[in-house]
């Protein structure tokens, strides 16, 4: 292959984030001109990081990049845009209160200060015709469906004459019809010689639209293969294979009666689209049910609905035989439900101290029934219990939570639920971003709680965590449960297929 036929050549790319996270370890990534190249991998594999480097948004710690054979060093996205690279993020970068044409104009202005709005419209009309992507020029962005916003985002790149278009999980926000339209547009762009890098975790999409696919696992390339030469099974295996590093000591579960029951649950996401589509699950006393899946497949909405923080469209949530579907979060907490959200930024108030943060989910124990006042003495006692039980390292109870390390913050967030002795415990990404010691501590704590008879629903995108802790595993994909069963019933390959949307 001559240098000219290669659109992107990234060699030996390393990325260590400022906080020490090693996201990429010596990645080689080569994309041929005019192809659709898939980038596949689990959550945290490094896909977005690699593409942010290609788009000049972050700098590699080490490594070389060539675009159409020319060595480049980008100091920001503008450099990348000038070399013909465009990127469509999972979260868009449009100005929500501007119209479509104003956004396009802004985009064109950034490469040509003399551009006029008419030029922007003219160029966009051409692109629209070539790709079949229709957009309403006079509408305000924030009033448009997400699928249309995405089209504007793509056209925005194309009027800047992008030759290489990066799409980060573009179909995760689209309906099936919108996905079909997008794929048709991508094929048309390919015919015109545009190179497309397509990030996804959906195996069917890789097979359907890509020419080559590169699989990343834990910051390294597992392989680059010709799509027509591999099966979905091959890809699933490449994506998830690993050695199970350390096994946690764990007695066999002794599941008792049903504590948390979710029946035919339907829940909408923030945009009003169905996110949970008829989920049925049962969690018993003394067991951990692990819900595996790639981020953004309805896990967050499911957890919030169970916790009473998001309305239920239909279906039922039952705790200890009581239908709580219409009860407030506060009432559910009183009935013995506990919830750890997927982000500390959501669960904790950073300027508040440890006692206040612990009090947040223990209010029903702390507010005096008579005077309706806070009993701070009680709150302090509960907070001390959290500190000693979870071995939280902190200068004092009155230290603002923001001064604690991530691991200690997480311990507070988990600990304030544990000390309430909940019956049903919904935990989302309990060890996200924690070091090895804190991770092991939290995982052991969950096993201990299960041995005490708590019913635990563990929602995690970390497959190791699911495999280590679960007594039963369920896999969620696009808001539906793909399969549920004992860990022995799942090989890694089968898990990979199910997480990628293929029934196995
Ligand atoms: N801005 C950041 N700061 C620190 N760590 C990050 C940042 N962005 C991503 N990471 C970490 O880098 C790793 C790779 O993440 P990412 O590139 O987003 O993976 P993917 O897109 O494949 O899910 C993960 O461990 C993630 O937590
Ligand atoms: Mg990503």
d(C-alpha 337, C-alpha 327), whole Å: 12
CA distance 92 to 147: 11
Question: Does residue 244 register a pLDDT over 80?
Answer: no
Q: How far is 397 from 263, CA to CA, in rounded Å?
A: 41
Å from CA of 423 to ligand 1 middle: 34
Gap between the Cα atoms of 290 and 61, Å rounded: 36
The pLDDT of residue 242:
79
Ligand 1 centroid, distance to 23 Cα (angstroms)? 6
pLDDT at 93: 87
pLDDT at 430 over 60: yes
Q: Does the pLDDT of residue 352 top 90, yes or no? A: yes
Q: Is 43 in the pocket of ligand 1 (CB under 6 A)?
A: yes
Instruction: Confirm or reject: Cβ of 44 under 6 Å from ligand 1.
Output: yes
Mean pLDDT of 63-73: 97
Inter-residue long-range contacts of 172-176, CB under 8 Å, 24+ positions, other chains counted: 172/90, 172/296, 173/90, 173/146, 173/147, 174/146, 174/147, 174/150, 175/147, 175/273
Return the residue whose CA atom lies nearest to atom 11 of ligand 1. 23
Q: Give the integer Cα–Cα distance in Å for 146 and 94.
A: 11
Q: How many H helices and E strands in the chain? A: 18, 20
> For residue 469, what are the CA distances in angstroms to 198, 298, 402, 442, 458?
33, 21, 29, 11, 8
CATH of domain 245-336+423-504: 3.40.50.300
Residue 270: CB atoms within 10 Å: 9
Provide the terminal-to-terminal Cα distance of the chain, rounded to the nearest Å.
38
**Nearest residue by C-alpha to atom 2 in ligand 1:** 17
| 21 Cβ inside 6 Å of ligand 1 | yes
**Cα distance between residue 214 and residue 194, in whole Å:** 18
Do residues 458 and 465 lie in contact, with contact meaning Cβ atoms separated by under 8 Å? yes
Report the distance separating Cα 462 and Cα 482, nearest Å. Answer: 17
For residues 338 and 417, the answer to whether their CB atoms sit within 8 Å is yes
Question: Does position 3 have pLDDT exceeding 70, yes or no?
Answer: no
91 vs 176: CA distance, rounded Å: 19
pLDDT at 129: 94
In this structure, are residues 155 and 128 in contact, taking their beta carbons and an 8 Å threshold? yes
**pTM, entire model:** 0.85
- 292-335 per-position pLDDT tens digit: 999 999 999 999 999 999 999 999 999 999 999 999 999 999 99
HSE-CB of 92 using CA atoms within 13 angstroms: 23
Does residue 46 line the site of ligand 1, with CB under 6 A?
Answer: yes
In the sheet that holds 337-340, the strands lie side by side as 337-340, 424-428, 455-460, 287-292, 472-477, 480-485
| Ligand 1 atom, smallest distance to 15 CA | 12
Q: Which of 149-163, 378-392, 429-443 has the lowest mean pLDDT?
A: 429-443
Nearest to 215 by CA among 238, 241, 195, 199: 238
What is the gyration radius of the CA atoms in the chain, in angstroms?
Answer: 25
Whether 245-336+423-504 and 3-240 are alike in CATH topology: the answer is yes
- Give the list of residues 6+ apart from residue 62 with CB closer than 8 angstroms, or none: 12, 13, 14
pLDDT at 2: 65
* Dist. CA 16 → ligand 1 center (Å): 10
Q: Is the CB of 431 under 6 A from ligand 1?
A: no
51 lines ligand 1 (CB under 6 A): no
Question: Is the model's pLDDT at 246 over the cut of 60?
Answer: no
**Contact 296 CB / ligand 1 (< 6 Å):** no
Give, for ligand 1, the residue of 20, 46, 435 to mutate: max count of ligand atoms closer than 8 Å to Cβ: 46
Closest approach atom of ligand 1 to CA 19: 4
C-beta atoms surrounding 133 within 10 Å: 23
CB 6 within 8 A of CB 30: yes
> Is residue 423 scored above 80 in pLDDT?
yes
Q: Which ligand number lies closest to the CA of residue 43?
A: 1
Query: Is 45's C-beta closer than 6 angstroms to any atom of ligand 1?
Result: yes
Atom of ligand 1 nearest to the CA of 42: 22
Check pocket membership of 201 for ligand 1, CB cut-off 6 A: no
- Percent of the chain exceeding pLDDT 70 equals 98
Mean pLDDT of the region 259-274: 94
CA distance 265 to 176: 21
pLDDT at 353: 96
User: 3-state class of 81 per DSSP?
Assistant: helix
Give, for ligand 1, the residue of 16, 23, 218 to mutate: max count of ligand atoms closer than 8 Å to Cβ: 23
pLDDT in tens, 186-236: 999 999 999 999 999 899 999 999 999 999 999 999 999 999 999 999 999
Q: Which ligand is nearest to the Cα of residue 41, counting in written order? A: 1
Domain residue extents for the chain: 3-240, 245-336+423-504, 351-421
Q: What are 221's strand-pairing partners?
A: 216
Query: Which listed ligand is nearest to 50 at the C-alpha?
Result: 1
Q: What is the spatial distance between Cα 122 and Cα 115, in angstroms, rounded to a whole number?
A: 11
Strands 36-40 and 212-217: parallel
- Report every protein residue that has its C-beta within 5 angstroms of ion ligand 2: 47-48
Is pLDDT at 248 greater than 80 in this prediction? no
| Helix or strand (DSSP H, E) at 53 | helix 47-54
Q: Residue 240 C-alpha to ligand 2 middle, in angstroms?
A: 16
pLDDT of residue 50: 98
- Exposure on the CB side of residue 294, measured as CA atoms within 13 A: 24
Q: Regarding the domain delimited by 3-240, which CATH topology (the fold level of the hierarchy) does it fall under?
A: Rossmann fold (3.40.50)
> Which residue did the predictor score with more confidence, 250 or 135?
135
Candidates 14, 15, 17, 38: which one to mutate for ligand 1, based on the most atoms within 8 Å of Cβ?
Answer: 17
Give helix 100-109 / helix 146-159 axis angle, nearest 10°.
30
Instruction: State whether the beta carbon of 39 lies less than 6 angstroms from ligand 1.
Output: no
Q: For 434-463, what is the mean pLDDT?
A: 92
pLDDT in the model for residue 91: 81
> Of the ligands numbered here, which is closest to the C-alpha atom of 216?
1
384 CB within 6 A, ligand 1 = no
């990030």: which residue's tokens? 199
Residue 58 alpha carbon, nearest atom of ligand 1: 1
Cβ of residue 220 lying under 6 Å from some atom of ligand 1: no
Mean pLDDT, the chain, whole residue set: 93
Instruction: Establish how many alpha carbons lie within 13 A of residue 406's alpha carbon, considering only the half-sphere containing its beta carbon.
Output: 14
Ligand 1 pocket residue status of 443, Cβ below 6 Å? no
Quote the pLDDT of residue 19. Answer: 82
The pLDDT of residue 1 is above 70: no
What tokens does 465 get? 């965590």
Instruction: Please tell me the distance between residue 44's alpha carbon and the centre of ligand 2 in angstroms.
Output: 7
pLDDT digits (tens, 9 = 90+) for 199-210: 998 999 999 999
Question: In this model, does residue 247 exceed pLDDT 80?
Answer: no
Burial bucket for residue 464 (CB in 10 Å: 0-12, 13-18, 19+): middle
Taking the C-alpha atoms of residue 11 and residue 65, their distance in angstroms, rounded to an integer, is 6
């Amino acid at each position: 292959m001559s240098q000219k036929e290669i659109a992107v050549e990234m060699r030996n790319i390393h990325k260590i984030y400022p906080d020490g996270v090693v996201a990429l370890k010596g990645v080689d990534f080569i994309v041929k001109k005019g192809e659709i190249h898939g980038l596949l991998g689990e959550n945290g594999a490094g896909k977005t990081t690699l593409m942010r480097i290609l788009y000049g948004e972050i700098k590699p710690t080490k490594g070389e990049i060539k675009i159409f054979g020319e060595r480049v060093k980008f100091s920001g996205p503008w450099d990348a845009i000038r070399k013909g690279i465009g990127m469509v993020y999972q979260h868009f970068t449009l100005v929500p209160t501007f119209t479509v044409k104003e956004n396009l104009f802004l985009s064109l202005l950034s490469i040509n200060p003399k551009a006029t709005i008419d030029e922007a419209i003219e160029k966009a009309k051409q692109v629209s015709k070539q790709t079949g992507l229709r957009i309403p020029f006079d509408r305000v962005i924030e009033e448009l469906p997400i699928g249309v916003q995405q089209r504007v985002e793509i056209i925005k790149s194309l009027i800047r004459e992008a030759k290489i278009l990066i799409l980060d999980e573009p179909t995760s926000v689209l309906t099936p019809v919108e996905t079909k339209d997008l794929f048709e547009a991508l094929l048309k762009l390919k015919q015109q010689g545009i190179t497309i890098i397509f990030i996804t975790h959906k195996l069917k999409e890789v097979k359907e639209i890509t020419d080559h696919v590169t699989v990343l696992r834990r910051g390294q390339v597992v392989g680059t293969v010709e799509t027509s030469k591999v099966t979905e099974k091959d890809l699933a295996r490449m994506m998830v294979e690993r050695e199970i590093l350390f096994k946690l000591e764990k007695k066999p579960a002794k599941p008792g009666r049903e504590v948390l029951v979710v029946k035919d649950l339907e829940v909408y996401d923030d945009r009003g689209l169905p996110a949970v589509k008829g989920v049925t699950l049962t969690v018993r006393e003394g067991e951990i049910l692990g819900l595996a899946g790639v981020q953004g497949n309805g896990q967050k909405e499911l957890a919030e609905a169970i916790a009473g923080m998001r309305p239920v469209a239909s279906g039922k949530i039952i705790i200890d035989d009581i239908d709580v579907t219409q009860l407030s979060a506060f009432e559910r907490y009183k009935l013995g439900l506990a919830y750890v959200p997927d982000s500390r930024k959501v669960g904790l108030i950073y300027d508040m101290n440890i006692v206040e943060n612990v009090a947040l989910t223990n209010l029903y124990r702390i507010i005096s029934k008579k005077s309706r006042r806070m009993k701070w003495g009680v709150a302090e006692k509960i907070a001390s219990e959290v500190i000693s039980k979870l071995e939280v390292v902190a200068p004092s109870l009155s230290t603002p939570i923001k001064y604690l390390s991530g691991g200690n913050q997480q311990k507070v967030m988990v600990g304030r639920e544990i000390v309430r002795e909940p019956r049903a415990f919904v935990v989302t990404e309990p060890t996200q971003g924690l070091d090895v010691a804190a991770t092991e501590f939290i995982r052991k704590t969950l096993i201990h709680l299960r041995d005490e008879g708590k019913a635990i629903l563990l929602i995690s995108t970390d497959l190791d965590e699911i495999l280590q802790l679960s007594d039963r595993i369920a896999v969620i994909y696009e808001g539906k449960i793909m399969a549920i069963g004992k860990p022995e019933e799942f090989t890694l390959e089968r898990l990979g297929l199910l997480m990628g949307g293929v029934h196995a």
